[in-house]
Structure 1
Amino acid sequence: MTQRRYLQLDVFADRPGAGNPLAVVLDAQGLDDAAMQAIARWTRLPETTFVFPPSQPGASYRIRMFSPRREVPFAGHPSVGTACVVLEAGLAAPVDGRLVQEGVAGLLPLAVDGEGEARTIAVRTPRAR
């Protein structure tokens, strides 16, 4: 069995146990849909994200997002939380204050300001389809 880096965090929280819980699998290469869905069920959190290298020009990284029941095209706290984890892990760096997250909803720009504890990340909700 392949070991993978996995983090659980509280997004939009000022202390552990507050905010919105999120699981992030940092190296999801090789996981199929069934495996990602099984991991999302196992975490029992509202969403679990899986990070991949980007597949589109201009993207900083690619994610897939799952609830315990199904794949989710977009949700705000998982997008922001995953961006924070990707930055802290050194998997991507902002260019001109932006990351570009590739996902089911398309290329999603995230504004990044500051560093470390003072860092803020903002995302604009994509248009509904």
Structure 2
Amino acid sequence: MGFLSFISKILGFGRRFNGTPEQYLAMVQYMAKKNNPDYTAEELLQWGEVMQKVMKVNLNPYRDFRDLAENGTSDYSMVEKVDDKVKEMEQRRDLKQAIYGQNADLGDDDVMKSEEDGAVFARKMVKDLSQHVRFSDEEERKLDEL
């Protein structure tokens, strides 16, 4: 299963997180760390709340994301699978570029150009996130092209 298919399975095309609250906490921690390796508790809370604006998450038995972050224990089982898929996709992309050059056609490994359902889903989700998150100017230009 490709990375994008894996992500779309986790989130579902209805934008409902299909894991436990503890898996959601781990996913938000993973995203916060990818954005800033030294993220603060406040940044984590912001990520958790922003992600809930673009997808439905059942946090029961926790009251809200803050309660989950303060009292929950992260379950990294899903994040480990996601990270493995990210590394696999990066290795395929690097191999294609090493063989065919930096401007190689990356096919479905190019999330920005692929028409695979998972890629379209990922682009739409990032576009929706951009209404709540300030990306760099370069990333904003790429989003405008979507």
TM-score for both structures, normalised by structure 1: 0.28
Q: Which has the higher strand share?
A: 1
Which protein has greater RCO, CA pairs closer than 8 Å, 6+ apart?
2
- Please say which structure displays the higher CA radius of gyration: 2
Q: Which has the higher helix share?
A: 2
